[in-house]
Structure 1
Amino acid sequence: MDTPQQPLPARTVASSIVREQVYMVFPNDLNSNDTVFGGLIMAHMDRLAAVVADRHAGGVTVTVSVDAVHFMSPARRGDVLVMHAAVNRAWRSSMEVGVRVEAEAIGGGERRHILSAYLTFVAVDPEGCPRPVPPLLTETPEEKRRYAEADLRRANRLQNAEQLKILRASHND
């Protein structure tokens, strides 16, 4: 006989956040325009977001989608990348992690916002099946805003997926 699962205790944004992860840009990170390869930044972003998702979930998570990657300006030779990541919202087995990447000149100075992105992760059990994640407890006005925005992005993703499913079905006739 299955026993009902107890709800997981909520976790705060602060319990899993990464405030500043740095990466020094070297010449082998650059493209022919002397700017950092976007894919390099995206790989670091995905790894950092995975750490945040794993912390929140209390175990293994997998990336299931990357939404709205916005490159605002390039990172260049001599920059240091400064990455921030936090859970924006958690649902049953999935969560959205927001990532912000800034660049600053070696030695410090003013930071430039160069990238923002939203990644969705699903927590998985040892067999690779989705498992529940703790609810997210928001505490600050910014966390509450990001929580609400994440639900809007999720609704748009689900609506888009449904529209694509209908369109594909109509072309298979």
Structure 2
Amino acid sequence: MAKHIAANISRTIQTRLVLPPDTNHMGTIFGGAVLSYIDEIAAITAMKHSGKAVVTASIDTVNFLSSARVGDILLLEGVVVSTGRTSMEVYVKAECQSVENRTKTLTTTAILTMVAVDENGKPSPVEGVVPETDSEKQLFQSAQERKERRMKINEFAKELC
């Protein structure tokens, strides 16, 4: 029987300060900077789960819901919500916290697929995941639908080439 790991084992939390070089002319964080942070935390989360190096296979969805400004604190959290044979689906959320009033606002959510690789860069098997929270269970239950959608998009993209 395949071994499964509790989702909290891979959970990763990062805190970042939004600095002027991270922002645009309006003083809000660049979407590309947020994407970079999301990719990094997803990779760390997947490496913690698999115990292996990983590569990004896809960024399934990214929802920019609000902005962070210079001086805000950006809180990122990643968790493995489903697994395949060599892949892990990682849910990432980013929240902005104002230093002055300590309020938190959800800024971004994303779902990424990371693939574990061996020392030769070849896909390597990973253990399953056991979702724990209600939201993790919902994401786990809808994982197959997202996988099928990704496969259809990949097939469509191949036809365009």
Q: What TM-score do you get using the length of structure 1 for normalisation?
A: 0.87
* Residues 65, 121 of structure 1: 8 Å contact kept: yes
Shift of 1:162: 2.0
Higher Cα Rg, which structure: 1
Is the contact made by 1:90 and 1:133 (CA closer than 8 Å) also made in structure 2? yes
Tell me whether 1:13 sits opposite 2:7 in the alignment: yes
Match in the other structure for 1:89: 82
- Asked if the contact 1:89/1:151 (under 8 Å) is kept, the reply is no
Confirm whether residue 126 of structure 1 aligns to residue 122 of structure 2.
Answer: no
Counterpart-to-counterpart distance in 2, 1:38 and 1:168: 27
CA distance in 2 between counterparts of 1:120 and 1:134 reads 15
Instruction: Identify which range, 62-71 or 105-114, moves more after superposition.
Output: 105-114
The answer for the alignment partner of 1:141 in structure 2 is: 134
Q: Aligned partners of 1:145 and 1:114: how far apart in 2? A: 21
Gaps of 5+ in 2: none
C-alpha distance after superposition, 1:94-136 (max 9, x if no partner): 1110100000112551111110111111111111111100011
Unaligned runs of 5+ in 1: 1-6
Q: What TM-score do the two structures reach when normalised by structure 2?
A: 0.93
Q: Describe the SS at the equivalent of 2:8.
A: helix
Cα RMSD for the two superposed structures? 1.5
Q: Does 1:68 align with 2:54?
A: no
